[in-house]
Structure 1
Amino acid sequence: MTAADSRARVVVDARVRQGWTRVRAAWFPILQASVAAAIAFAIARYAVGHPFPFFAPVCAWIALGFTTDRSVRRVAELAVGVAIGVALGDLLVHLIGNGAWQVAVVLFLAAIIARFIDRGQMLTTQAGVQALVIVGLPAISASGGPVGRWIDAAIGGAVALAVALLTPRDPRRHLRTLAHAAVEELAAMLRVLGRGLRSGSTADVQDALVRGRASQPALDEWSDTATNASELARVSPALRKYRDELAGLGGTAVLVDRAMRNARVLARRCRSAVDAQTHDMTTVADQVDATARATEELAAALGSGRDPERARSQLLAVSHALDPFELAARDWQVQSLVLLHRSLVVDLLEASGVSPSDARESLPEI
C-alpha cells in the first residue's frame, strides 16, 4: 500500500466513524420530522381537502429540521418565515404575475417584512426562499384558492410547533455523544502515534497526523452545537437548569480542540524524529500511550456525564513524568518532543477540570 493509499484509508475511516456518530445522534429527530411532515400532509389533504398540499410537509420538515436543537422559538421562527414567504408570494403573483423583476420585488418585500417582525436570520432566509418558490412554482400546484398554499404552510408550522412543545428534550444527551466521539478521535490518534513511535514506523506516525487532521469536523460540530445549546439555555426557562453543564461542555470543546492542534504539532515533529532513525523513542512512546489511555477515559466520562476523576488522575501522573532532562538527558530533539507533549497534557488536564494554574504547576520544573 502506497503512502497516498494509506492516507486516503485513514481519511475515509475517520469520515465513516464521524458519519455514524451523526446518524446515531440524529436518527430519532429525523424520524420525528418525517412523521410530522406526513401528518401535516394528511391534515391538509384529507381534513382541509387540498389535493396538492405541497407546503404542509415542507413547512413541517423545515421548521423541525433533523437535530435535537429544537427550541420553541427556533421552530416558530422557521414556521413563521415559511408562512410569510408563501403568503407574500401568493399575493404578489396574483397581483403582478411572475418574471425576473417580480422575483426581485418578492425577495425584497419578504426580507423587509421578516426583518420587521423579528431579528432572527432564519426567519428572513425562509421568508425569501419560500416566496421565491411560490413565484417559480407552477400555478397548477396551488389548491384551495388564493390562500390555499398559505393554509398548507400554516398547517405544517402548527404540526411542527406541536411536536416541539410535546417532545421532551435534553440537549445534554446530544452534546455528550458529540463530546465522546470527538475526544475518542484524539485518543485514537494518540494510540496510532504511540504505536508508530514504538515501532519506528513513519507510516504509522503519518497516519496519526492524517487522522488528527481528519477529526476536525467532529470537533467543529461539538463546538458549534455546544455554543448553540448554551445560547438557547440562557433564554429558555425550560433549559436553564442545564445551563452550567452546557457551558462547561462548550468550554471543554475549546480545550479539546486546542489539545488536538497540539497533538498534530507533536505528530509532525515526531515524524521528523522517526525519519532520522537515530533517536530512542521508547520513553516518548510510553508517555504518548499513557496520554491516550487517559484521553479514552476522558471520552468515556464526557459521554456519560460523570466527573472525569480517573482521567484527571491518569493525566496528572503523565504530567508529573514529563521532565525532558530525565526522559532524554542527552538528546535535545527528543527533549523538544517532551516539551510539545507537556502543552498537550496541560490542555487535557484543563479539559478534565483542572484549573490552568494547577495544570501548569503539575509539570516538573525545567
Structure 2
Amino acid sequence: MRRSASRVRESLPAILQIVVAATAAFAFAHYVLGHPAPLLAGVVTVSSLGLVRDARPARVLETVIGMIVGILVAELIVLFAGVGWWQLAITLSATLVVARFLSPQASFAIAAAIQSLIVIVIPANVPFLRLLDGLVGGVTALLVTALVPRSPLRAVTRDGRALFAAFDGAAATLVDALRQGDRRRAERGLAKARALQGTVDDWRTALESGAAIARISPFLRRQRFEMQRQARIRDAMDLATRNLRVIGRRVVYLCDDGAARPVAAELVGELRRGADLIAQSLDDISFEPVAREALRAVATRLDPAVLAGPGAVLDQNFIGALRPLAVDLLTATGLPPEEARAALPRM
C-alpha cells in the first residue's frame, strides 16, 4: 500500500501535465477548429507524454513524429483505397516499413502503427482531418513540456539519493565483512556493489531528461545550476561505484583467511561516512564542503606502507585500492581531480 501511494505521489506532476495537455488539445481541435470528435488530438498528446522516466523534449518530439507518420500513411491509403481488411494489412505493413526506415527505435514504429490502425478502423468524412488532430496533439504536447514541466529536479534528486543509499548499503556490508573476516558477507557486499550500475544509469537518464527540459522551459532556468552540480556528482559516483566493485573483490580475497581487519574496516567506514555527507549535499549544498574536508582527512592517511606495515602485501594492496575511491569521492564534492589526487600521500 505504501509503495502504491508513493508511486502515485511521484507520478502526480506527470499526471497533471498529461491531463492539461490532452484537455487543451481536445478543446482546441473541437471548439476552435470545429472537429466533431478529435480523438487523435488527445491520443497523440497522451501517448507522446506518457508516464516514462525520460521526458526529454527530443523523446516527446520523436514519439510525435512517429505517430504523425502513422496517421499520414493511413490517411493516404484510405484516400486512394478506402477501408477494409486488406487495406488494414497494407496500411500496417507500409507504416511499419516506413517507420523502421526512419528510426532505429522500435517504439517509434509501434507508435506509428497504432495511429494508422486507429485511422483505418475509425472512419472520418473529411480527408486528413485526423492528421490535423494529430498535429494539434503533438504541438500541444511539446508546448506543455516547456510550459507545464514535471519538476525534474525532484526526480533527479530522488534518483541521486537512491544511488547513495545503495552505495551505502554495499559499503556497510563490506565494512562488516572486514570487521569479522567473513567471506560470505564479503561476497554479499560485492554482489550489492555489482548491482549499483542500474541505479547509476537511472540517475543519468533523469539528469539528461531534466537538463533538456530546463533548457527550453522558462520556469526551470534556476534549476540549471543544480542540474549541472548533480551531473558532476553523478559522473564522480559512476567512477566511485566501479572502484567499489574493485574493493569488493579485494575484500573477498582478504576474508579468505577469516582474520578480522579493523584498520581496513575503519578506512572503508570513513569513506562511507564521507559519501553519506555527499548524499546530504543533494538536498543542502552546505554539506558539500563538510564532505570534502571529511574525505580529505581520510585521503591524507591512505599510505599502504604505514597503515598495513611491511610484509603485509594483501593489506597494502587493499589500502592502495582505496586511494582511487577517495579521489572519486573528493571529486564528487567539487574538488578538481588534480587537487583530489594531491591530497593522497606519496607512495
- How does the TM-score come out when normalised to structure 1? 0.76
Aligned length: 336
Q: What residue is the counterpart of 2:305 in the other structure?
A: 325
| Range with bigger deviation, 128-137 or 330-339 | 128-137
1:308 corresponds to:
288
Aligned pair in 2 of structure 1 residues 111, 236: CA closer, same or farther (>3 Å)?
farther
The answer to whether the aligner puts 1:293 opposite 2:273 as a matched pair is: yes
Q: Which residue of 1 aligns with 2:249?
A: 268
2:51 is matched with 66
- C-alpha deviation, 1:189, in angstroms: 1.2
Q: What is the Cα deviation at residue 333 of structure 1?
A: 0.8
SS at match of 2:282: helix
Structure 2 equivalent of residue 349 of structure 1: 330
2:300 maps to a residue whose letter is H
Quote the offset at 1:228 in angstroms: 4.5
Unaligned runs of 5+ in 2: none
**CA distance in structure 1 between the aligned counterparts of 2:179 and 2:285, rounded to whole angstroms:** 34
Alpha-carbon deviation of 1:240? Answer: 5.7
Give 1:220 deviation, angstroms: 0.9
Report the CA distance shift for 1:293/1:82 in structure 2 as closer, same or farther (over 3 A).
same
Q: What residue identity is the alignment partner of 1:308?
A: E
Cα distance in 2, alignment partners of residues 236 and 165 from structure 1: 4
Distance in 1 of aligned mates of 2:57 and 2:250:
49
Please state how far the C-alpha of 1:146 moved relative to its aligned partner: 3.6
Superposition deviation, residue 232 in structure 1? 5.9
Question: Which residue number corresponds to residue 49 of structure 1?
Answer: 36
**In structure 2, distance between residues paired with 1:142 and 1:302:** 53
* Rounded Cα–Cα distance in structure 2 between residues aligned with 1:363 and 1:72: 43
**Matching residue's letter, 1:310:** V
Q: Which residue of 1 aligns with 2:341?
A: 360
Is 1:209 the counterpart of 2:178? The answer is no
Aligned pair 1:28/2:12, yes or no?
Answer: yes
Give the C-alpha shift of residue 55 in structure 1: 2.9
Structure 1 stretch displaced more, 336-345 or 131-140: 131-140
Alpha carbons 1:25, 1:177 under 8 Å: kept: no
Q: Which amino acid aligns with 2:191?
A: V
Aligned counterpart for 1:94 among listed residues 79, 96, 102: 79
CA contact (8 A) 1:193 1:204 kept: yes
* Residues 229-261 of structure 1, C-alpha deviations (whole Å, 9 max, x = no match): 446666777666554543342232121111111
Q: Which amino acid aligns with 1:27?
A: S
2:236 to 252, 255, 261: 255
**Contact 2:29–2:136 (Cα < 8 Å) also in 1:** no
CA contact (8 A) 1:182 1:218 kept: yes
Structure 1 residue 154, shift from structure 2 partner: 3.8
State the alpha-carbon separation in 1 of the partners of residues 27 and 337 from structure 2: 57
- Tell me whether 303-312 or 180-189 shows the greater mean CA deviation: 303-312
Structure 2 match to 1:14: none
Looking at structure 2, the residues matched to 236 and 166 of structure 1 have their Cα atoms a distance apart, in angstroms, of 6
Note the 1:126-141 alignment, pairs <5 A. Answer: 126=108, 128-137=109-118, 139-141=120-122
Gap runs ≥5 in structure 1:
1-18
Quickly say closer, same or farther: Cα 1:162–1:233, change in 2 above 3 A: closer
Aligned AA (1:82): M
CA RMSD across the alignment:
3.6
d(CA) in 1 for partners of 2:78 and 2:10?
38
Paired residues of 1:184 and 1:295 also in contact (CA < 8 A): no
Question: Would the alpha carbon gap of residues 87 and 265 (structure 1) be closer, same or farther in structure 2, given more than 3 Å must change?
Answer: same
User: Which residue identity does 2:73 align to in structure 1?
Assistant: L
- Quick one: distance in 1 between partners of 2:212 and 2:15? 26
Q: What SS is found at the alignment partner of 2:300?
A: helix
Question: Which of 262, 284, 300 is matched with 2:264 structurally?
Answer: 284
SS at match of 1:321: coil
AA in 1 matched with 2:321:
L
Match of 1:199 in 2: 180
The 3-state SS of whatever aligns with 2:266 is helix
Question: Take 1:198 and 1:313, find their aligned partners in 2: how far apart are those partners?
Answer: 25
What is the CA–CA distance in structure 1 between the aligned matches of 2:192 and 2:212, rounded to whole Å?
A: 31
